[in-house]
Chain A
Amino acid sequence: MRAGFVTKEVLNGLRRNITLTIAVVITVAISLSLLGVGLLANSQVRVMKDYWYDKIEVSIFLCGQLSDSPTCSGGPVTAEQRAQIESDLKTLPIVANVYYESQAEAFARFKERFKGTALVDNVTADQLPESYRVKLKDPKQFAIVQSAFSGRPGIDSVQDQRTILDKFFKLLGVLRDGALAIGLISVLTAALLISNTLRIAAFNRRRETGVMRLVGASNFSIQLPFLLEGLISAIIGWGIATGILAALKSLVDARVAPLLTFTNFFGWADVWNASLLLLLTGLVVSAIASFLTLRKYLKV
């Protein structure tokens, strides 16, 4: 068949079933948007992880006056112990950099944090522990630091800030998985609607397809107009979904980002990547749904 003839047949088909075409376009648009939101949620979690894991540290608190853990039974950390700890830290290959916080600095930070409360007046600098703030190249490798340093004389405790964040990210992960699941389910709904629509279209046009068969049209050329109708609806729906995601991104940039300054947000690249994935999903799902339906309802 010629391209011009096929185009005419496809446009005719879309026009004749205009209400169903609109239903398919809207369903595809909504389901792909939902899936897209799930994908962007995924990007957002990744961006936040990058942002926060980049800032978290491992704190190694040294023994001070008030420390009562067994490793501090020898009293406050000695100068040799401190020097040994520092040089050990610096030779550890997973450590990115080490920052020493003295008692005076800890006290300054403490005063800043509890400004205006009675606590500030009751605490003196020598009551606060000095510490090493250790930045790891890969924050997941905390266990190595812990096994190397905790329990060592002169060290009170080794703390990983990541454990605090992990709970937060677990929660975000659940939300993200939920969004993705809803997206996938609605894509399935769209697939079923496409399949149903094509079944109705095949029934409406059984005269045409019957004549096509009689004059010796191949299976492929009988099915092609239907397949293209499904794909075109899917592509229009995808265009709308991409528009919705872009609008969402603009909204986040304009309204949400200025309020939530503690994190970065997903970028335009994430939107385009999600859009590309949605296009693939839309095309593949529509093609599979069409193929399975037409094979059943348009037999030679």
Chain B
Amino acid sequence: MIRCENVAKTYSKQDRPALDSVTLEVAKGEFVFLVGQSGSGKSTFLRLIIREEKVTSGRMFVAGKDLSTLSQWKVPEFRRGIGTVFQDYRLLPNKTVSENVAFAMQIVGAAPKEIAREVPEVLELVGLDDYGHRMPAELSGGEQQRVAIARAFINKPQILIADEPTGNLDPTMSVGIMKLLDRINRTGTTVVMATHDDKIVDQMRKRVIELENGIVVRDQVRGIYGYSG
């Protein structure tokens, strides 16, 4: 699903590469934790996957597309196959929960009928059946993150990218979010999650990729968080 061959990324105006000679493969349906200290290159790696940034050298294949040759105008279509969740939820404050989730479908031109059918379904999946008419500000952080996950998942992406989705949440809420991501993973969706949360990583026992100064220093099946930071 994701294959990197000697990927390097150097931001302009910087000498040191943010990522250097990363070679790895993530299979379809895998659940991968991306760990490492701040500035180790986790976010850069995620940004490369959703083609927010272009690789400086090496080759990168995501969802069957060669990102180093993907032309700019095909990027939006490519992104429709990838769901994204962030630490700060990124909900639209002036839209209701339903509207926020529906937004992702409206953007890609789905029929209103289809939207009316799918939105309640996915809200049920994330456990927010009765929250459709609420505004994001009325919800707790965990609930907001569930809405964000519902939005990321509604177009049935092949890959779900999560950048510290539990970073703003207390442990109980975090567990709920992880259960949800696990359930999404079981539907066959590949999940790549960057995190600082050692408890979660140790609990889930999934594949762990550790980055340090832009280099992969550990790639462990059923791994643990493994460093104190």
List A contacts of B207 (CB < 8 A). Answer: none
Interface assignment of A103: CB less than 8 Å from any CB of chain B: no
The distance in angstroms between the C-alpha atoms of A221 and B106, with both chains bound, is: 10
Flag B67-87 by CB within 8 Å of A: 1 or 0 each. 000001101111111101000
Interface assignment of B151: CB less than 8 Å from any CB of chain A: yes
Contact B108 A217 (CB under 8 A): yes
Please report the total number of A residues contacting B with Cβ < 8 Å: 18
Interface assignment of A207: CB less than 8 Å from any CB of chain B: yes
Interface assignment of B135: CB less than 8 Å from any CB of chain A: no
- B74 (CB) vs chain A CBs: closest residue: A218
Contact A213 B79 (CB under 8 A): yes
Interface assignment of B92: CB less than 8 Å from any CB of chain A: yes
Flag B84-109 by CB within 8 Å of A: 1 or 0 each. 10000010110000000001101111
Interface assignment of A74: CB less than 8 Å from any CB of chain B: no
Please report the total number of B residues contacting A with Cβ < 8 Å: 26
Interface assignment of B112: CB less than 8 Å from any CB of chain A: yes
List A contacts of B80 (CB < 8 A). Answer: 215-216
The distance in angstroms between the C-alpha atoms of A217 and B75, with both chains bound, is: 9
List A contacts of B56 (CB < 8 A). Answer: none
Interface assignment of B155: CB less than 8 Å from any CB of chain A: yes
List B contacts of A214 (CB < 8 A). Answer: 50, 79, 84, 90
Contact B112 A2 (CB under 8 A): yes
Taking each of B107, B111, B155, which has the highest tally of chain A beta carbons within 10 Å of its own beta carbon? B107
The distance in angstroms between the C-alpha atoms of A217 and B34, with both chains bound, is: 27
List A contacts of B104 (CB < 8 A). Answer: 211, 215
The distance in angstroms between the C-alpha atoms of A36 and B49, with both chains bound, is: 54
Nearest CB of chain B from residue A285's CB, rounded to whole Å: 26
The distance in angstroms between the C-alpha atoms of A217 and B152, with both chains bound, is: 13
Name B108's contact: one of A211, A216, A219, A300 (CB within 8 Å): A216
Interface assignment of A118: CB less than 8 Å from any CB of chain B: no
- B155 (CB) vs chain A CBs: closest residue: A215
Contact A210 B90 (CB under 8 A): yes
Nearest CB of chain A from residue B21's CB, rounded to whole Å: 28
The distance in angstroms between the C-alpha atoms of A221 and B92, with both chains bound, is: 17
Contact B103 A216 (CB under 8 A): no
Contact A1 B77 (CB under 8 A): no
Interface assignment of A47: CB less than 8 Å from any CB of chain B: no
Number of A-B contacts (CB under 8 A): 59
Given contacts A214-B84, A215-B104, contact A300 B90 (CB under 8 A): no
Interface assignment of A4: CB less than 8 Å from any CB of chain B: yes
Name A4's contact: one of B75, B107, B112, B152 (CB within 8 Å): B112
Name A5's contact: one of B72, B82, B106 (CB within 8 Å): B106
List B contacts of A1 (CB < 8 A). Answer: 106-109
The distance in angstroms between the C-alpha atoms of A84 and B80, with both chains bound, is: 92
The distance in angstroms between the C-alpha atoms of A211 and B90, with both chains bound, is: 7
List A contacts of B152 (CB < 8 A). Answer: 215
Contact B151 A300 (CB under 8 A): no
List B contacts of A216 (CB < 8 A). Answer: 76-82, 107-108, 155
Contact A217 B76 (CB under 8 A): yes
List A contacts of B84 (CB < 8 A). Answer: 214
List B contacts of A217 (CB < 8 A). Answer: 76, 107-108
Flag A186-227 by CB within 8 Å of B: 1 or 0 each. 000000000000000000000110111111111101000000
Given contacts A300-B72, A300-B75, A300-B76, contact A215 B92 (CB under 8 A): no
Taking each of B76, B112, B155, which has the highest tally of chain A beta carbons within 10 Å of its own beta carbon? B76
The distance in angstroms between the C-alpha atoms of A213 and B82, with both chains bound, is: 11
Contact B73 A219 (CB under 8 A): yes
- B73 (CB) vs chain A CBs: closest residue: A219
Q: Which 8 A-B pairs have the closest CB atoms?
A: A216-B80, A216-B79, A215-B104, A217-B107, A218-B76, A5-B106, A216-B76, A214-B84
* Extra A-B contacts (17), CB below 8 Å, given A213-B76, A217-B108, A221-B107: A1-B109, A2-B111, A2-B112, A4-B112, A208-B92, A211-B103, A211-B104, A213-B79, A214-B84, A214-B90, A215-B104, A216-B78, A216-B80, A216-B107, A218-B76, A218-B77, A300-B75
18 contacts between A and B (CB under 8 A): A1-B108, A1-B109, A207-B93, A211-B104, A211-B151, A212-B103, A213-B79, A214-B50, A214-B84, A214-B90, A215-B108, A215-B152, A216-B76, A216-B79, A216-B155, A217-B76, A218-B73, A219-B76
